[in-house]
């Protein structure tokens, strides 16, 4: 904030790695930071409640249909969902989020991961509700903030396709048209966010400072993660190889998550 007031880019050094839009947002809300973080956490909890509630409704409809078609074996009836889950499961999810020590400490420390959580929760709600536009926009915002949510693109797209087309046929024109529309909205929104960040700073310095920092893992300061410990122990000339392995490992989970989404819907 002080650097912005002095007309100096906060990305000129190597100590700041937050996105420009968040910087300018808190430049105006710095006096109300505590309230902003508390409201954001509350919004996340409410959003998760609504998302789980909506998903439960869909699952109950599917369960009812399968029961009518006698698709469930008799011995498996005791494992079926009961109506009380409609009320208690969403509440439990919200409470687990709010009472999670990591959530509480992040809010107290005023960590921007609170904002990341809120954006991802809104993305989940939009996806479960079946809104391709809002889903793509919130996913682009989450990707802009922390990069890794890009892995949620394939499962989200497949989930929306299964709500739009039953059954999903990859050879159909509608499948590819819908996929292209969703990806176009996602990429377009992401480009708007990145370009707007450039116009705010009149510089591309934020890209290596944010995304380069995430991908290259140059900071080995101890934290709650494992990257710093692992890379502090290995030889320097092996560093690039293991950085690539660790980053690829994140994206490997996209395929099984997508397949699981396809099977479970």
Q: Which of 33-37, 104-108, 244-248 has the lowest mean pLDDT?
A: 244-248
pLDDT per position as a tens digit, 105-128 = 999 988 889 999 999 999 999 999
User: With pLDDT > 90 as the criterion, what percentage of the chain qualifies?
Assistant: 34
Contacts of 148 (CB under 8 A, 6+ apart): 214, 250
pLDDT at 135: 96
- Burial track 161-188 (b if 16+ CB lie within 10 A, e otherwise): bbbeeeebeeeeeeeeebbeebeebbee
pLDDT at 218: 77
> Which range (133-137, 235-239, 259-263) has the least confidence?
259-263
Average pLDDT over residues 80-90: 76
The pLDDT confidence band at residue 25, using thresholds 50, 70 and 90, is: confident
Model pLDDT, residue 188: 96
Q: What percent of the chain lies above the pLDDT cut of 70?
A: 83
Q: Where are the beta strands (DSSP E) in 104-259?
A: none
Burial label, 159 (beta-carbon count in 10 A; 0-12, 13-18, 19+):
buried
Indicate the average pLDDT of the chain: 83
Whether residue 68 has pLDDT greater than 80: no
Average pLDDT over every residue of 3-16: 68
């Amino acid at each position: 904030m002080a650097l912005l007031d002095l007309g100096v880019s906060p990305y000129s050094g190597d100590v700041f790695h937050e996105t420009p839009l968040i910087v300018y947002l808190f430049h105006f809300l710095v006096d109300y930071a505590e309230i902003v973080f508390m409201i954001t956490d509350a919004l996340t909890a409410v959003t998760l409640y609504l998302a789980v509630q909506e998903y439960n409704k869909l699952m109950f409809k599917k369960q009812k249909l399968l029961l009518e078609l006698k698709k469930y074996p008799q011995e498996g009836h005791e494992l079926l969902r009961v109506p009380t889950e409609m009320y208690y499961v969403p509440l439990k999810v919200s409470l687990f989020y709010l009472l999670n020590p990591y959530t509480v400490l992040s809010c107290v420390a005023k960590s921007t991961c609170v904002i990341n959580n809120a954006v991802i929760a809104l993305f989940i709600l939009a996806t479960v509700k079946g809104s391709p536009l809002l889903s793509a926009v919130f996913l682009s915002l989450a990707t802009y903030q922390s990069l890794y949510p890009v892995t949620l693109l394939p499962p989200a797209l497949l989930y929306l396709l299964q709500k739009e087309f039953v059954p999903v046929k990859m050879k159909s024109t509608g499948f590819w048209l819908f996929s292209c529309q969703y990806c176009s909205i996602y990429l377009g929104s992401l480009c708007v966010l990145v370009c707007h960040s450039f116009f705010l700073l009149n510089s591309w310095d934020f890209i290596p400072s944010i995304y380069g920092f995430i991908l290259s893992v140059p900071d080995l300061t101890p934290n709650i993660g494992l990257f710093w410990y692992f890379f502090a122990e290995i030889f320097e000339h092996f560093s690039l190889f293991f950085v690539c392995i660790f980053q690829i490992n994140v994206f490997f989970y996209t395929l099984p998550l997508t397949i699981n989404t396809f099977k479970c819907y």
